[in-house]
Amino acid sequence: EMELAFYFLLVVTAVSGCGVPNYQPKSSRVVNGEEARPYSWPWQVSLESFFPTCGGTLIAPDWVLTAAHCITFHTYKVVLAEHDMTKEEGPEQSIMVKKMFIHPKWDDNCVSCGNDIALLKLETSAVISDKVQPACLPPHGATLAHNQPCYVTGWGRLYSGGPKATTLQQALLPVVDHSVCNQSDWWGSSAKTTMVCAGGESKSACHGDSGGPLNCKNRDGRWYVEGVTSFVDGRGCNTPQKPTMFTRVASFIPWISETMARN
């Protein structure tokens, strides 16, 4: 009874103050990526071990969503309100990760099998400010429309410790409907219904970050984390008909809610 009440509270608080940046993101339709307006993606997280490895998304003051394939080292910290990696700009918050939860069905040897999702419980809650805000979580099972404009954000790392931009980048990535993405000359059977495809018409995900968000604005005016960057074609980001694959957050809401409520 008590746990249920707490869970309800958790959902309500998560919904009330989410997905509304104080600094409006650039709405330009640059598909190959451009520098983001500083702090316009206030839920964007840099996940670091000894060096920055992946991106992540703040979904509650003490919870970060990322990709399971990003979890390799043991000690992690997250950095919030980060824009230029090379400078100490002032508003950054660096918080240690207390506990990591990898999806139980994740298989390291099979990224295309899906379930590439993980939750990080933070040692202390982030201080919510004009530069640090959680993203909204989509309702369970919600689907995205074909060509819905979403933005991928990050410092450009497509693999752990890979080359990166020094400032946060964003790129417009239209959603590719599942019925298109699972065609044999696209991703075929690698495209599962628990994934979101975006880009692929020579659109780039080069400026995303493994584990980082696919940000989509809803009709309610709020930004939702609809995807977690999972895998890109080995031939590079601009490969036609090989859009970036994201873990579809809406498929994993029960696991996310349960993990957060229990911990």
Which one is catalytic: 40, 46, 103, 116?
116
Q: Are 58 and 134 spatial neighbours (Cβ–Cβ below 8 Å)?
A: yes
> How far, CA to CA in Å, does 216 sit from each of 51, 87, 166?
28, 29, 24
Which one is catalytic: 46, 49, 69, 230?
69
108 is written with which tokens?
């390291």
Q: Are 85 and 48 spatial neighbours (Cβ–Cβ below 8 Å)?
A: no
39 is written with which tokens?
């702090």
95 is written with which tokens?
């918080």
Measured at the CA of 196, the angle between CA 54 and CA 111, to 5 degrees, comes to 55
238 is written with which tokens?
């601009």
d(CA 244, CA 73): 25
To the query of whether residue 210 is one of the catalytic residues in this protein, the response is: yes
Which one is catalytic: 49, 210, 230, 251?
210
Assign 136 to helix, strand or coil: strand
Q: Are 121 and 102 spatial neighbours (Cβ–Cβ below 8 Å)?
A: no
State the DSSP code for 167.
Answer: B
15 is written with which tokens?
């919904």
d(CA 154, CA 221): 22
Q: Say how far residue 138 (Cα) sits from the centre of its chain.
A: 12
142-145-147-153 Cα dihedral, nearest 10 degrees: -20
**Residues acting as catalytic residues:** 69, 116, 210
